[in-house]
Amino acid sequence: MLPLREVKILRLLSQQDFSGDELAKQLNASRRTIVRDIAAINDEIQTNRIGRITTQNKYHLTTLNPGKLTTLLNTSRDEANEILLRLCIRRTVAMGDLTADMFLSRAQVADYLVELNSDYHDLFHISSRPRTGVTINMKRLTRIDIAADCIFEFPQLLDKVVPEVENTQRVITYLTANPCPYQEWVIDSQWRAQVISAFVCLPPSKTHSSEASTTTLVHQFVQGRADLLASLMAKHESIVQKFSQTADKFQLEAIGQKTLESLFTHFGRECAFPRPLSTLSNFDITRLSAQNPVAFDFAQAVTVELLKTDNRMWMDANFLALYIVQAINQREVKPVKILFLAPRMSLAQINSTIIQQKLHNIVLYTVHSLTDAETAYTKHHFDLAIANVRNDVIEQSSIKFSLTFSAVASDEDIATLEQLVNGQYYHDNIAAMLAPNHFVNVTRADKFLPVLRKGLQSFNDTGLLTDADLVKIVEREEAGNQLILNHISIPHIVTSSVSDYRLFAIKPDRAITVENQEVYLMVIVLVGTSQAEKNTIFSYLYQTLRKYTVMNIRQVQTYQQVIELLRGMMQFDG
């Protein structure tokens, strides 16, 4: 059986290709360790004819037997959750009992305990001591809540840990006699999991009969959840208002009442039946937060405030952010208007069909003469202009045509047009957003915050950055809200001091470490309030910067190299 870290690598590669550096970051391991792990994984999965991992620019998993792969991945997940369920039920379990009951070695159990503590550090801490055993201590929620979610998410574990408990008379009697007091917030299987969890996790009282005392304790737990939910409902108006005020703080003015109510409804469901085990993958979180940092910042701020009220409450800020991302994207769907000059009628029809089939979210306005194109361009606003003609036909035109092709549009032409649609604005305007005097080298500093402060202060001294924006940037980074894309730190704020975007770049004279990874460049992004909901610059940066290697980033030294890097056009040695 593969060790836990190797299983994690396999799980990641089953979702998407990763470079060695990306895997090292995901698993907080060295690049050399990843190389060794990949070799060990390949030996295992090729021997068992499950698949193989190949590499060019990134590691790629080719699956030969999907069934065996699924079994291998699910085994480690189920074992970790089985340990968690056993601890929730008994609180303390002897290490010998865990190894004997689950047929695991002490080293395997220890690995799983490290993983559980890392994944759920906000909820509980599991400790292991000689002669005491393995103990779970809750920080938030209760053991009943965690067990209930475990039973709901992984029902196959119940028979392994507590066989036939759901068919016992006391559980059946309780479920028959007691309808869920918050049934509009949970589904039947969640209510059933909650009741079963309460019965198996609650110890009977020593002063009363076991059945009666346990049933009373189950009542108390259920009533506690019902009271907590009732308290939340009583604060509905004030909580939604708080959501709105926080949205204003982050300049998310167009997030409507419907979205705010959806946030409250989500919180209500989490209050009735907390779902801490249902999480996004680290890869998805990194990708989505890089593309939508303002949405994730807002969600984090809201969650922190909500969770202060009661430690029986739970909310995953990342799921909350998805509501904001969805709302932003729904409002942001504005078609790109393209003026298409196509004098030859037959080709015009063929190319129009190809372009509209291949590209979404565009409006194609087709004209058949240069004169008509000039007239339309003067009267209407177009984001792009393209032409199905030879270059010499449009040499004297006042229109800036971004793409010309003389025959049927090729795959390369479509790919170019897609890039233009997605990134033309930023590609063309990066140099205007990041002027030459917005770049500075910082020497003799090897820590993140001192480098950031020193660079920002130089911009402030020359009147390029306001005092308020300097303070806001530093405070945000001090709070641990770093956004790092491919070894480039991107501090960012929303501010009324700019109308669109303003960028600054700080180049330290040596690598600095942020969140256990080396950073070679800082690109500070000031987002104007009118752009705060769009976040399109972060999507552009994410798509542009992710294609470079670490060696590429290290080579960036000058202002012009930063501009070419951000435009996705830098040529590198070697």
Q: How confident is the model at residue 328 (pLDDT cuts 50, 70, 90)?
A: low
The 10s digit of each residue's pLDDT in 70-86 is 888 877 788 999 999 99
Q: How confident is the model at residue 269 (pLDDT cuts 50, 70, 90)?
A: very high
The 10s digit of each residue's pLDDT in 512-568 is 988 778 899 999 999 886 555 555 688 788 878 888 888 889 999 999 999 999 988
Average pLDDT of the residues in 165-182: 91
Residues 6+ away with beta carbon under 8 Å from 450: none
The 10s digit of each residue's pLDDT in 16-68 is 888 898 888 888 889 899 999 999 999 999 998 999 999 888 899 998 888 88
Q: How confident is the model at residue 96 (pLDDT cuts 50, 70, 90)?
A: very high
Query: What's residue 333's pLDDT?
Result: 46
Query: What's residue 319's pLDDT?
Result: 85
Query: What's residue 211's pLDDT?
Result: 67
Residues 6+ away with beta carbon under 8 Å from 214: 170, 199, 202, 204, 205
Query: What's residue 530's pLDDT?
Result: 58
- List the structure tokens of 545: 């910067």
**Tell me, what amino acid is at 249?**
K
Are the C-beta atoms of residues 289 and 483 closer than 8 Å to each other?
yes
Query: What's residue 332's pLDDT?
Result: 47
User: Buried b vs exposed e over 275-295: b needs ≥16 C-beta within 10 Å?
Assistant: bbbeebeeeeebebbbbbbbb
328 compared with 202, residue with greater pLDDT: 202
Sort residue 533 into left (φ over 0), alpha (ψ -120 to 50) or beta.
Answer: alpha
530 compared with 416, residue with greater pLDDT: 416
1 has pLDDT over 80: no
The mean of the pLDDT values for the chain is 86
Q: How confident is the model at residue 186 (pLDDT cuts 50, 70, 90)?
A: very high
pTM above 0.85, yes or no: no
Q: How confident is the model at residue 281 (pLDDT cuts 50, 70, 90)?
A: low
Dihedral of CA 534/539/540/545: which sign? positive
250 compared with 175, residue with greater pLDDT: 175
**Tell me, what amino acid is at 89?**
I
Alpha carbon of 322 to those of 219, 283, 298, 325: distances in Å? 35, 15, 11, 5
User: What is the Cα–Cα distance from 280 to 284, expressed in whole angstroms?
Assistant: 6
Average pLDDT of the residues in 223-247: 92
Return the bridge partners of 170, or none: none
Q: Which H or E run contains 521?
A: strand 521-528
Query: What's residue 208's pLDDT?
Result: 45
Looking at 67-76, 177-186, 383-392, which range is the least confident one? Answer: 67-76
Average pLDDT of the residues in 178-194: 94
- The alpha carbon of residue 90 and the mean position of all alpha carbons in its chain are separated, in whole angstroms, by 34
Query: What's residue 423's pLDDT?
Result: 66
Choose among 70, 102, 80: nearest CA to 154: 80
Secondary structure of 277-288 as H, E, C letters: CCCCCHHHHHHH
Looking at 281-295, 401-415, 516-530, which range is the least confident one? Answer: 281-295
User: What is the Cα–Cα distance from 513 to 347, expressed in whole angstroms?
Assistant: 55
Are the C-beta atoms of residues 537 and 492 closer than 8 Å to each other?
no
* CB count in 10 Å sphere of residue 65: 14
**Tell me, what amino acid is at 13?**
L
Average pLDDT of the residues in 443-447: 80
295 compared with 491, residue with greater pLDDT: 491
- List the structure tokens of 211: 């059945």
The 10s digit of each residue's pLDDT in 336-382 is 789 999 988 878 889 999 998 888 678 899 999 999 999 999 888 88
Residues 6+ away with beta carbon under 8 Å from 130: none
E strands, 139-259, in order: none
